[in-house]
Structure 1
């Protein structure tokens, strides 16, 4: 997790919690919440959100109850409060519609650069971050731009440009839309230059 952004996330989320007269959350609550979201991805259940907190099996179903409350120590009410109040930005974006999430992307990239040493071959491609909510053109605080590609497994969301180790497939960095180098070289070349910049002079292809 990009730890440098954690403090800002807690401040913004707790500001919303205060407005709703909810109890403030701490680091442990935040990571428990993230853990629950990951568990939902690994152990998907059909039906409404409350299904994950069922303590008894449903009639006519053979699956065991998820029982997240007992397993992970967070009630559904607490989970939904954090979900409703979660915020990673103060909402003042200025001229950059992607400002709220840039710190997380930048921290992700910095962490990858510290711990991942790619091989000699680098591969530039795009990846999708799925988004099932609204777009900014329909609502003031929604996704600035939604990409729709039907051939993708998750075909609706934010398209990120990324660079990966061509041998292992491990992703090195991801980038959002940016204007750097675009005027001089065009957008396609500019994407490659932005992603490959940390590896200048290393002899990689």
Structure 2
């Protein structure tokens, strides 16, 4: 927990409730230990989509379809979402959840490794949400940049690793050091890319928001 849990609990209690379908998907994910976005990230996504009104959205990391359904709901029926998922057991669940929420004609799920799929996409996308393998964000970045339109928004979840990102690599368990280094490299790349304006929020497990310049 990056921010005091009491603040998070209080603030989350103020936000609008999820639709019944999304609430059910959220509970099922929690019950089966599927990682999905936290409630504070839900409300950030809703806000950013309301502000930017994207019509073409790309998601890297569908899991069971919770966040794609959320974005479809927030963006409205005219928006189209392309989402990528590599973990085969979750793909039929995600597709069933798209149908369950009535978004099966709005969301397209591409099956496979994002590193192989991203170069095949044309774009441009108005809004990109990355919530996949954290150690791969730095590798996804060149293609995600290419696919985002001028003025478009890129949101990346789980960038602060529950606060571990500020620790020395020697304080991190050996098995997590590669991810720790790659995430630090990713955050440096985001904040030093002259083509983007980026902020990093200590919200949920850390969220970065990057806006592509119009020049």
TM-score greater than 0.5 by the shorter chain: no
* TM-score, structure 2 normalization: 0.25
Which structure has the higher relative contact order (CA within 8 Å, separation 6+)? 2
Structure ranking higher in strand proportion:
2
Structure ranking higher in helix proportion:
2
